[in-house]
Structure 1
Amino acid sequence: MTPTPAPRELIARACRVLTARGLADGVLGHISLRIDENTLLVRCRGPQERGLASTTAADVHWVDLDGAPAAVGELADGYTVPNELPLHTELLRRRPEVNAVLHAHPSNVVAADLAGLGVRPILGSFDIPGAHLAAGGVPVYAKAVLVRSRTLATEVCEAMGDRPVVVMRGHGLTSVADIVERAVLQAVSVDTISRFSLQVASAGGTLVDIAEEDWADLPDLGGSFNVATSWRHELARLHDCGC
């Protein structure tokens, strides 16, 4: 199945959302989308690299799980797959429910982890999907390494387990989901929680998890709101800032 232009543009916009949200700076970060059992689309790098903030559909290429072009013309003009492609491909190999993989370097997440502040359910109605994500646990991969081999990628997968997000110590985070939009929004939620955690700690406060009795009034509002509406907002923010 040859991918249409639409998923390439989705990945490009998602990369720009990451930058607009402050989760990816400069050229660091990438997003992929499963096309079939053996191939994926992934944000690549070329000789005219302008960074994630300027990602276009032309920067997104169709490759196999070994990083080879999946069709004539892919990885042309000097494009190369990310060094950490194994992080994407190993997750896609191991988790059939996952179609989208995001890797980014949000400074709030890195700083909060290094400060010993885990991703905890401290925010309630401020971000209900984020609260539930945090309550389920966000594990940490403790090596601050470049994940450029299947061996290291396997370690990340094992640290992540069946969770949607893993924090990578001194590095960033990886978020997985059934769709690109959800993977991005999960990363935004984890970054938001980390930012508030740092603010509370720097003010001399103590992080307090949501009270058990409050969970009954923190309902799942459904994908049409949690994802569709939120994603329209992210795209509108891109438009408004000319990104």
Structure 2
Amino acid sequence: MTGFAQERALVAAACRVLAARGLADGVLGHVSLRTGPNTLLVRCRGPHERGLAFTEPADIRHVDLDGAPAGEGELAEHAVPNELPLHTEVLRARPDVQAVVHAHPPDVVAADLAGLSIRPIVGAFDIPGAQLAAGGVPVYPRGVLVRNRRLAREMVDALGDRPVVLLRGHGLTSAAGGVEQAVLQAISVDRLAGLTLRITASGGRLVDLPDADLAELPDLGSGFTVATAWRHELARADVGAD
């Protein structure tokens, strides 16, 4: 196993951030990063699997879109996720996507099962989240393990050109141009789901932010919304990316 040291460290850090945020408890969930037209790095399970919170760069393996090793020793003691097609079908269908996150946030699952959509109910509280929700967060309505290309294509059809799709009774898939963005999108959706549950549980009514207010939300730039936010996530999870 050689090459892509920084990229493996980044994907491993992303897994640990997801766990620290409570989006990937236990041994479930995975993160991938495109490395070429037909290859990707993906979080795999090894002989001493301990869960996403303890992911190390050595758990990130280089494979092709069919799950075969893309280098010597890549899968010597590790196995690709059962839901590898969830990642590879997104990468096949969406050339704009470089990274895919699959996680199991309990609040996201609960809100969807309660019939509550992810809506732009906040404004400056979470500007990227509000803008993401305003564009719509679709739902893949099957609570299945996305373990083959047929099911993965169904999920990709539900995702369409959006950045995040919910998976009923299962979790979410987040797709973006980078690992950091994919993770931050998942965190925003989870935050909105948690607020939605709290508001409705207290007897409140969900109200979308008015279009005029959405239009006033500024683009703070990726240096703040991605780079600074990512440094915060690494710090709060006490992980590094190199």
Q: TM-score when scaled to structure 2?
A: 0.97
How far off is 1:215 after superposition? 1.9
**Partner of 2:6 in structure 1?**
6
**Partner of 2:187 in structure 1?**
188
What per-residue deviation string (whole Å, max 9, x for no partner) do you get for residues 125-166 of structure 1? 000000000000000000000000100000000011000000
Question: For the residues of structure 1 that align with 2:32 and 2:162, how far apart are their CA atoms?
Answer: 18
What letter is aligned with 1:41?
L
The answer to whether structure 1 residue 164 and structure 2 residue 167 are counterparts is no
How far off is 1:3 after superposition? 4.1
**Partner of 2:206 in structure 1?**
207
Question: For the residues of structure 2 that align with 1:216 and 1:172, how far apart are their CA atoms?
Answer: 30
Q: TM-score when scaled to structure 1?
A: 0.96
Q: 1:129-148 to 2 correspondence within 5 Å?
A: 129-148=128-147
**Partner of 1:149 in structure 2?**
148
How many residues are treated as equivalent by the alignment? 238
What letter is aligned with 2:48?
Q
Question: For the residues of structure 1 that align with 2:189 and 2:215, how far apart are their CA atoms?
Answer: 22
What per-residue deviation string (whole Å, max 9, x for no partner) do you get for residues 16-68 of structure 1? 00010010000000000000001000000012100000000000000001101
What letter is aligned with 2:125?
F
Question: For the residues of structure 2 that align with 1:115 and 1:216, how far apart are their CA atoms?
Answer: 30
The answer to whether structure 1 residue 43 and structure 2 residue 60 are counterparts is no
What per-residue deviation string (whole Å, max 9, x for no partner) do you get for residues 176-215 of structure 1? 0000000000000000000000000100111010012212
What letter is aligned with 2:216?
D
Q: 1:57-96 to 2 correspondence within 5 Å?
A: 57-77=57-77, 79-96=78-95
Q: Which runs of 4+ in 1 moved over 6 A?
A: none
Q: What SS does the aligned partner of 1:126 have? A: helix
The runs of 5 or more residues in structure 1 that have no matched partner are: none
8 A contact 1:164–1:177 mirrored in 2: yes
Root-mean-square deviation (CA), in Å? 1.0
- Between 1:130-139 and 1:206-215, the stretch displaced more is 206-215
What letter is aligned with 1:184?
V
